[in-house]
């Protein structure tokens, strides 16, 4: 059961990351000043 849950969580993460890359206007707003994020919003 844990393996299936891990696989589901990974699949959801990947799908969300792909959707945010394809539609950046859906990502949370970030201020223009400050340190540039090194990770995706997903």
Band (pLDDT 50/70/90 cuts) for residue 41 is low
Could you report the per-residue pLDDT of 4-30, keeping only the tens digit for each?
999 999 999 999 889 888 888 887 787
Q: Is the pLDDT of residue 33 over 80?
A: no
Residue with tokens 């299936």: 4
Structure tokens at 37: 């994020």
What pLDDT, on a 0 to 100 scale, did the predictor assign at position 24?
Answer: 81
Backbone angles phi, psi at 2, to 5 degrees: -65, -40
Spatial contact of 7 and 20, defined as CB atoms under 8 Å apart = no
The model's pTM: 0.56
Q: Which of 31, 13, 10, 33 is nearest to 21 (CA)?
A: 13
């Amino acid at each position: 059961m844990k393996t299936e849950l891990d696989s589901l969580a990974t699949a959801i993460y990947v799908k969300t990351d792909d959707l945010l890359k394809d539609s950046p206007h859906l990502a949370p707003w970030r201020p223009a000043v400050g340190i540039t994020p090194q990770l995706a919003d997903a």
